[in-house]
């Protein structure tokens, strides 16, 4: 028997920023933000400066998923944060320019 997934975004609930999607070499990197989206935008900009490019694709099964943490103010936000963090490969407390540069350099070096 199949179980239904929990609803992570309710109508009229919190606005959820879209993930930032980048390519570094042959690897897709998706950056999710538990807050207002400014953290994921900043990390994506740092990765672009290091050599990654923006990508318009949707969800990728083989993508590296990065989550930028933010305080969860509602029960819905806590559920969404727990779901994002469970599926993430990396969870950051804030965007880290050094991490962005080192990640892109490592991914570009894998070519």
Give me the residue label for tokens 């559920």: 79
Q: In angstroms, rounded to a whole number, what is the distance separating the alpha carbons of residues 57 and 61?
A: 11
Cα→Cα distances 45→31, 65, 75, 91, 101, Å: 11, 16, 30, 18, 10
The 10s digit of each residue's pLDDT in 13-66 is 567 788 999 999 989 999 999 999 999 999 999 999 999 999 886 656 789 999
pTM of the model: 0.82
């Amino acid at each position: 028997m199949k179980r239904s997934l929990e609803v992570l975004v309710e109508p009229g609930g919190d606005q959820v920023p879209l993930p930032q999607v980048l390519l570094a070499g042959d690897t897709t990197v998706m950056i999710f933000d538990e807050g207002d989206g400014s953290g994921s935008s900043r990390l994506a900009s740092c990765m672009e400066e290091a050599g990654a490019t923006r990508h318009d694709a949707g969800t990728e099964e083989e993508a590296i998923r990065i989550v930028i943490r933010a305080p969860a103010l509602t029960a819905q936000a806590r559920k969404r944060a727990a779901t994002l963090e469970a599926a993430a490969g990396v969870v950051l407390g804030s965007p880290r320019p050094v991490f962005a540069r080192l990640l892109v350099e490592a991914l570009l070096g894998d070519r």
